[in-house]
């Protein structure tokens, strides 16, 4: 019986460490452009909840970039990581933002940038990534952080994926919304 309890405790602590992997995933980075001498504030790409359950797995990562040169808008950066074996790439088409039941904004993505790691002889595959970005106004971003019900729909060449932006954490997993208020405070220091 003690062995079973010990195995269960190890399994639970392993799950906790996996959940904690997502905790520190989102980072805020401030840089001063050496050419323009203006500030750029990045929020690294991280997960947004794909549903109301910890079992709803997101497939796209969200990041944000604010530029002092364009303080009235913020860039939404999306990434899809995959492998050649699992389908490889996607083409980002648009993002719909639903705030409190009203579709607030629809933004079109420009060109999707495709990248790969080259052949990995350890895992016998090629890791791929697709990324694109589009601008939204800063007021929409602030409203997304204040509202109780914010849903995002990412349209791609493979269909669409829905995300529940207003969820900051489920279980031990922390999503982008958890750290975004600190990101906005960093931006506001420069506005």
pLDDT tens per residue, range 78-108: 999 998 888 889 999 999 999 999 998 899 9
Q: Of residues 32 and 53, which shows the higher confidence score?
A: 32
Q: How far apart are CA 114 and CA 79, in angstroms?
A: 10
Q: Is the pLDDT of residue 20 over 50?
A: no
Residue 35 lies in a domain: yes
Q: Is the pLDDT of residue 15 over 80?
A: no
Q: Of residues 57 and 40, which shows the higher confidence score?
A: 40
> Model-level pTM?
0.82
Residue 32 lies in a domain: yes
Residue 66 lies in a domain: yes
pLDDT at 53: 86
Strand ranges in the chain using DSSP code E only, listed in sequence order: 28-32, 39-47, 61-67, 73-83, 92-99, 102-108, 113-120, 125-137, 150-156, 159-164, 169-170, 173-174
Q: How far apart are CA 84 and CA 129, in angstroms?
A: 10
Q: Is the pLDDT of residue 13 over 80?
A: no
Give the CATH number, domain containing residue 83. Answer: 2.60.40
Residue 20 lies in a domain: no
Q: What is the percent of the chain with per-residue pLDDT over 90, rounded to a whole number?
A: 67
Residue range of the domain that includes 43: 25-188
Q: Please give the average per-residue pLDDT across 135-157, as a whole number.
A: 96
Residue 57 lies in a domain: yes
Number of domains in the chain: 1
Token pair of 32, please?
A: 């001063």
Q: Is the pLDDT of residue 123 over 60?
A: yes
Residue 33 lies in a domain: yes
pLDDT at 54: 80
Mention every residue, 6+ apart, whose C-beta is less than 8 A from residue 153: 95, 96, 98, 160, 161, 162, 163
Contact 114, 80 (CB under 8 A): no
Token pair of 39, please?
A: 């500030």
Residue 166 lies in a domain: yes
Residue 136 lies in a domain: yes
């Amino acid at each position: 019986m003690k062995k079973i309890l010990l195995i269960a405790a190890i399994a639970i602590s392993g799950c906790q460490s996996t959940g904690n992997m997502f905790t520190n995933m989102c980072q805020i980075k401030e840089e001063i452009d050496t050419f323009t001498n203006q500030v750029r504030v990045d929020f690294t790409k991280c997960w947004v909840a794909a549903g109301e359950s910890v079992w709803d797995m997101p497939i796209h990562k969200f990041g944000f970039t604010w530029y002092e040169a364009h303080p009235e808008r913020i860039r939404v950066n999306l990434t899809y990581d995959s492998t050649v074996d699992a389908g490889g790439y996607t083409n980002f088409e648009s993002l719909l933002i639903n705030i409190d039941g009203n579709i607030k904004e629809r933004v079109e993505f420009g060109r999707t940038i495709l990248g790969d790691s080259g052949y990995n002889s350890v895992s016998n595959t090629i890791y791929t990534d697709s990324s694109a970005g589009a601008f939204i106004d800063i007021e929409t971003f602030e409203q997304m952080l204040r509202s109780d019900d914010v849903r995002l729909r990412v349209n791609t060449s493979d269909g669409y994926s829905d995300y529940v932006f207003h969820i900051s954490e489920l279980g031990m997993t922390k999503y982008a919304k958890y750290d975004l208020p600190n990101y906005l405070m960093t931006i506001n220091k420069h506005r």
